[in-house]
Amino acid sequence: MRMKKFAAVAMCCIPALALAGCSKPSESEVHGAVVEMLEKQGATPEQAKAYADCAAPKMVDKISRTGLNNIIEDGSTAKGTDDDVDEMSAIDQECSAEVLGGSTSS
């Protein structure tokens, strides 16, 4: 009897969990992951927050769901599609210039 109840509950929850894993991360989740990643790489909390404030909304808008989930799960070692890499490169250049107060191009 307990097994039937468990199976019924599991069957209700599994689709919800599957959909949650397929959804695009929120801007706040991306922001937190970016801050954590940059602080691990030696940025000050203020630098990391300023960069994430700039980058997170752009990333959620332009990076694929898979790419964003990879960033949240894998941080700086995340892999992405060529399009994601190109978009992230542009976002990085723009936000680095904004946070550092100047152009990053040579």
Q: Do the domain assignments include residue 2? A: no
Give the residue numbers spanning the domain of 62. Answer: 25-100
d(CA 50, CA 69): 21
Q: Do the domain assignments include residue 14? A: no
Q: Do the domain assignments include residue 36? A: yes
Q: Do the domain assignments include residue 62? A: yes
Q: Which two tokens stand for residue 36?
A: 């954590």
Q: Do the domain assignments include residue 51? A: yes
For residue 60, give every residue at least 6 positions away whose Cβ sits within 8 Å of its Cβ, in sequence order, or none: 24, 25, 26, 27, 30, 68
Q: What is the pLDDT of residue 68?
A: 93
- The domain tally of the chain equals 1
Q: What is the pLDDT of residue 22?
A: 66
pLDDT band at 100 (very low <50, low <70, confident <90, very high): confident
pLDDT band at 21 (very low <50, low <70, confident <90, very high): low
Stretch 77-98: mean pLDDT, rounded? 89
Please answer whether residues 55 and 34 qualify as being in contact, where contact means their C-beta atoms are separated by less than 8 angstroms: yes
How does pLDDT run across 30-51, given as a tens digit for each residue? 999 999 999 999 999 999 999 9
With a cut of 50, say whether residue 7 has pLDDT above it.
no
Q: Do the domain assignments include residue 57? A: yes
d(CA 105, CA 12): 52
Q: What is the pLDDT of residue 91?
A: 95
Please answer whether residues 68 and 25 qualify as being in contact, where contact means their C-beta atoms are separated by less than 8 angstroms: yes
Q: Do the domain assignments include residue 85? A: yes
Stretch 6-15: mean pLDDT, rounded? 38
How does pLDDT run across 80-89, given as a tens digit for each residue? 788 899 999 9
Q: Do the domain assignments include residue 44? A: yes
